[in-house]
Structure 1
Amino acid sequence: MRLDLTTLFLMTVAVTFTAGVLFLLSWSQTRRERSLAVWGIAHLVGSLASLMLALRDQIPDSLSIGLANALMIGAYGLIWSGVRAFEGRRLRLGWALAGGTVWLVACLIPPFYGSLVARVVLASTLAGLYCASGGLMIWRGRGEPLVSRYPALVLLASYAVLYWIRVPLAFALPLPASVAIASPWFAILCFTGTLYSVAIAFVFMALTKERAEREQRLAAETDALTGIANRRALVAGAERHLAVAPAALLLFDLDRFKAINDRYGHSVGDAVLAAFCTIAAPLLPPEAVFGRMGGEEFACLLPRLDERAAARVGERVRAAVAGFDHPDYPDLAMRVSVGVAAESQIGGSLDYLLRRADDALYRAKHAGRDRVVTAGDDPLLRAEAEPDAVALSTVHTVRSVTR
Structure 2
Amino acid sequence: MRLDPPTLFMMTAAVTFTVGVLFLLSWSQARRERALVVWGIAHIVGSGASLLLSMRGQIPDSLSIGIANALMIGAYGLIWSGVRAFERRPPRLDWALAGAVIWLAACAVPAFYESLPARVILASLSAGLYCGVGAVTIWQGRAESLVSRYPALVLLATYAALYGLRVPLAVTTPLPASVGTASPWFAILCFTGTLFSVAIAFTFMALTKERAEREQRLAAETDALTGIANRRALVAGAEQRLAVAPAALLLFDLDHFKMINDRHGHSVGDAALAAFCHIAAPMLPPGALFGRMGGEEFACLLPRYDERAAARIGERIRAGVARFTHPDYPDLAMSVSVGVAVESQIGGSLDYLLRRADDALYRAKRSGRDRVVTSQDYPLPLADEPAGTALHAAAGRRRMRPS
Provide TM-score, normalisation by structure 1.
0.92
Q: Secondary structure in 1 aligned to 2:181?
A: coil
Q: Aligned partners of 1:313, 1:177: CA distance in 2, in Å? A: 74
Q: Aligned partners of 2:243, 2:50: CA distance in 1, in Å? A: 56
- Asked if the contact 2:4/2:187 (under 8 Å) is kept, the reply is no
- Asked if the contact 1:74/1:96 (under 8 Å) is kept, the reply is yes
Name the counterpart of 2:96.
Answer: 96
Counting only pairs closer than 5 Å after superposition, residues 126-137 of structure 1 correspond to structure 2 as 126-137=126-137
Counting only pairs closer than 5 Å after superposition, residues 38-117 of structure 1 correspond to structure 2 as 38-117=38-117
Counting only pairs closer than 5 Å after superposition, residues 219-258 of structure 1 correspond to structure 2 as 219-258=219-258
Q: Aligned partners of 1:331, 1:25: CA distance in 2, in Å? A: 55
Q: Aligned partners of 1:108, 1:96: CA distance in 2, in Å? A: 21
- Asked if the contact 2:73/2:99 (under 8 Å) is kept, the reply is yes
Q: Aligned partners of 1:328, 1:75: CA distance in 2, in Å? A: 53
Q: CA deviation at 1:327?
A: 2.4
Instruction: Report % sequence identity.
Output: 81
- Asked if the contact 1:364/1:370 (under 8 Å) is kept, the reply is yes
1:295-327 alpha-carbon deviations (Å, 9 max, x no partner): 000000000001111111111111111111222
- Asked if the contact 2:117/2:174 (under 8 Å) is kept, the reply is no
Name the counterpart of 2:321.
Answer: 321
- Asked if the contact 2:242/2:347 (under 8 Å) is kept, the reply is yes
Name the counterpart of 1:141.
Answer: 141
Q: Aligned partners of 1:68, 1:52: CA distance in 2, in Å? A: 6
Q: Give the count of matched residue pairs.
A: 379
Q: CA deviation at 1:13?
A: 0.8
- Residue identity in the other structure for 2:164: W
Q: CA deviation at 1:7?
A: 1.7
Counting only pairs closer than 5 Å after superposition, residues 229-308 of structure 1 correspond to structure 2 as 229-308=229-308
Name the counterpart of 2:198.
Answer: 198
1:235-271 alpha-carbon deviations (Å, 9 max, x no partner): 1111111111100000001111111111111111111
Q: Aligned partners of 1:92, 1:75: CA distance in 2, in Å? A: 14
- Residue identity in the other structure for 1:144: E
Q: CA deviation at 1:72?
A: 0.4
Q: Aligned partners of 1:72, 1:327: CA distance in 2, in Å? A: 58
Name the counterpart of 1:382.
Answer: none
Q: CA deviation at 1:203?
A: 0.3
Q: Aligned partners of 2:275, 2:281: CA distance in 1, in Å? A: 10
5+ residue gaps, structure 2: 380-403
Q: CA deviation at 1:174?
A: 4.0
Q: Secondary structure in 2 aligned to 1:341?
A: strand
Q: Which moved more, 1:222-231 or 1:320-329?
A: 320-329
- Asked if the contact 1:39/1:79 (under 8 Å) is kept, the reply is yes
Q: Aligned partners of 2:375, 2:288: CA distance in 1, in Å? A: 19
- Residue identity in the other structure for 2:115: S
Q: Aligned partners of 1:153, 1:345: CA distance in 2, in Å? A: 42
Q: Which runs of 4+ in 1 moved over 6 A?
A: none
- Asked if the contact 2:360/2:375 (under 8 Å) is kept, the reply is yes
Counting only pairs closer than 5 Å after superposition, residues 134-213 of structure 1 correspond to structure 2 as 134-213=134-213
- Residue identity in the other structure for 2:41: I
Q: Which moved more, 1:157-166 or 1:320-329?
A: 320-329
Name the counterpart of 1:24.
Answer: 24
- Asked if the contact 2:248/2:306 (under 8 Å) is kept, the reply is yes
Q: Aligned partners of 1:47, 1:329: CA distance in 2, in Å? A: 62
Q: Aligned partners of 1:57, 1:24: CA distance in 2, in Å? A: 32
Q: Which moved more, 1:83-92 or 1:44-53?
A: 83-92
Name the counterpart of 2:389.
Answer: none
Q: Aligned partners of 2:189, 2:128: CA distance in 1, in Å? A: 13
Q: Aligned partners of 1:100, 1:150: CA distance in 2, in Å? A: 28
Counting only pairs closer than 5 Å after superposition, residues 8-23 of structure 1 correspond to structure 2 as 8-23=8-23
Q: CA deviation at 1:3?
A: 3.1
Q: Aligned partners of 1:329, 1:127: CA distance in 2, in Å? A: 58
Q: Aligned partners of 2:284, 2:359: CA distance in 1, in Å? A: 22
Q: Aligned partners of 2:344, 2:29: CA distance in 1, in Å? A: 51
- Residue identity in the other structure for 2:294: G
Q: Aligned partners of 1:103, 1:327: CA distance in 2, in Å? A: 59
Q: Secondary structure in 2 aligned to 1:11?
A: helix
- Asked if the contact 1:176/1:183 (under 8 Å) is kept, the reply is no
- Residue identity in the other structure for 2:231: R
Q: Secondary structure in 2 aligned to 1:376?
A: helix
1:272-292 alpha-carbon deviations (Å, 9 max, x no partner): 111111111111111110000
Q: Aligned partners of 2:216, 2:181: CA distance in 1, in Å? A: 49
Q: Aligned partners of 2:295, 2:167: CA distance in 1, in Å? A: 65
Q: Secondary structure in 2 aligned to 1:143?
A: coil
Q: Secondary structure in 1 aligned to 2:377?
A: coil
- Residue identity in the other structure for 2:23: F
- Residue identity in the other structure for 1:357: A
- Residue identity in the other structure for 1:55: M
Q: Aligned partners of 1:181, 1:85: CA distance in 2, in Å? A: 36
